[in-house]
């Protein structure tokens, strides 16, 4: 019984983590930018939903879609105004992203204040199936993630823009020589990443207390996921996110919650020792 509960909790954690990680890994592999600002995009998504549905009384699903769009726009602005100059510059790009993350978080403390907020859930309550607790909203998060990841996978694999993204992943310069509009694909990548992070934040908003630093934990876990999953692989990120969700769930249920992050990183490093390109990465 406990095992099933742990697995279900793990799947739920993995589902939202996958959304954050896939955006991060796409930005990393296509633009070669370590986007430390990804966590604050998640946070902004959550606050957007909380404001629209909690304060203005919008329908939750409309608010969620609005958060996705708003954070896509946010990604567009960040890429065009700031990150476009730092493609491929590992250290400078990382520091720039840290600057952005610090700035937005500090601004959020000042604007939103330090009182925890919450957001109403569209599906409150739980199902109790033979002793196993199923949060209705968690099930919704899992389904929504599955749909989003599935459609992103189809987009990246089969669409023209998706192919261009994969071409840039391998070699941006060669891609530009093939007539791919590198600038446009970069903006698209950042918009997708921003939207996914915003949607993940919005999906998780009803499940947790919100503070301006709420993006830190998913950001750090997403790094574990892209270490494990290999840079730029949507499938790898999905599998690794579910794996890390499980690890979190096991450590939290059977050991101590504070250790979950450390244990995840420790596992990721052990795996890197054996497979320096990640579990699913290849040359």
Residues lying near another protein in the complex (CB under 8 A) are found at 28, 32, 34, 82, 85-86, 90-92, 94-96, 98-103, 105-107, 109-110, 220, 223-224, 226-227, 231, 256, 258-259, 261-263, 265-266, 268-269, 272-273, 276-277
Residue number, 198 or 230, with CB nearest to another protein: 230
d(CA 99, CA 37) in angstroms, rounded, equals 8
| 8 Å CB contact between 64 and 199 | yes
Residue number, 49 or 241, with CB nearest to another protein: 241
Tell me the CA end-to-end span of the chain in Å, nearest whole number.
42
CB of 37 to another protein, least distance (A): 10
Residue number, 39 or 206, with CB nearest to another protein: 39
Contacts of 146 (CB under 8 A, 6+ apart): 15
241: three-class secondary structure by DSSP: helix
CB of 144 to another protein, least distance (A): 28
CB of 85 to another protein, least distance (A): 7
Two tokens, residue 243: 């794996």
Q: Give the bridge partners for 228, in sequence order.
A: none
CB of 35 to another protein, least distance (A): 12
CB of 92 to another protein, least distance (A): 6
Residue number, 128 or 258, with CB nearest to another protein: 258
By residue count, the chain amounts to 283
Look at the block and give the residue holding tokens 């020792």: 273
DSSP letter assigned to residue 53 = I
Give how far Cα 108 sits from Cα of 72, 103, 138, 219, Å: 19, 8, 27, 17
Contacts of 271 (CB under 8 A, 6+ apart): 227, 228, 278, 279
Residue number, 53 or 189, with CB nearest to another protein: 189
Residue 167: count of CB within 10 angstroms of its CB:
18
CB of 221 to another protein, least distance (A): 10
Residue number, 3 or 258, with CB nearest to another protein: 258
């Amino acid at each position: 019984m406990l095992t099933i509960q742990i697995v279900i909790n793990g799947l739920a954690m993995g589902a939202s983590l996958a959304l954050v990680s896939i955006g991060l890994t796409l930005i990393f592999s296509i633009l070669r930018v370590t986007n430390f600002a990804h966590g604050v995009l998640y946070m902004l998504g959550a606050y957007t939903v909380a404001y629209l549905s909690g304060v203005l009384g919008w329908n939750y699903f409309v608010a969620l879609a609005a958060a996705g769009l708003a954070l896509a726009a946010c990604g567009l602005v960040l890429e065009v105004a700031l990150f476009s100059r730092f493609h491929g510059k590992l250290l400078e790009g990382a520091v720039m992203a840290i600057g952005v993350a610090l700035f937005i978080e500090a601004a959020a403390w000042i604007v939103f204040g330090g009182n925890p907020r919450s957001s109403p859930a569209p599906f409150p309550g739980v199902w109790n199936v033979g002793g196993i607790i199923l949060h209705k909203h968690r099930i919704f998060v899992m389904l929504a993630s599955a749909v989003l990841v599935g459609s992103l996978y189809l987009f990246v694999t089969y669409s023209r823009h998706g192919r261009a993204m994969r071409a840039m992943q391998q070699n941006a310069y060669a891609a530009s020589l093939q007539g791919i509009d590198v600038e446009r694909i970069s903006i698209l990548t950042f918009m997708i990443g921003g939207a996914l992070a915003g949607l993940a934040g919005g999906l998780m908003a009803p499940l947790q207390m919100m503070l301006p630093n709420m993006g830190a934990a998913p950001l750090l876990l997403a790094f574990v996921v892209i270490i494990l999953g290999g840079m730029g692989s949507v499938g790898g990120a999905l599998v690794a996110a579910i794996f890390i969700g499980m690890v979190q769930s096991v450590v939290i249920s059977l050991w101590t919650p504070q250790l979950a992050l450390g244990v995840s990183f420790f596992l990721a490093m052990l795996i890197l020792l054996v497979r320096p390109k990640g579990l699913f990465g290849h040359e």
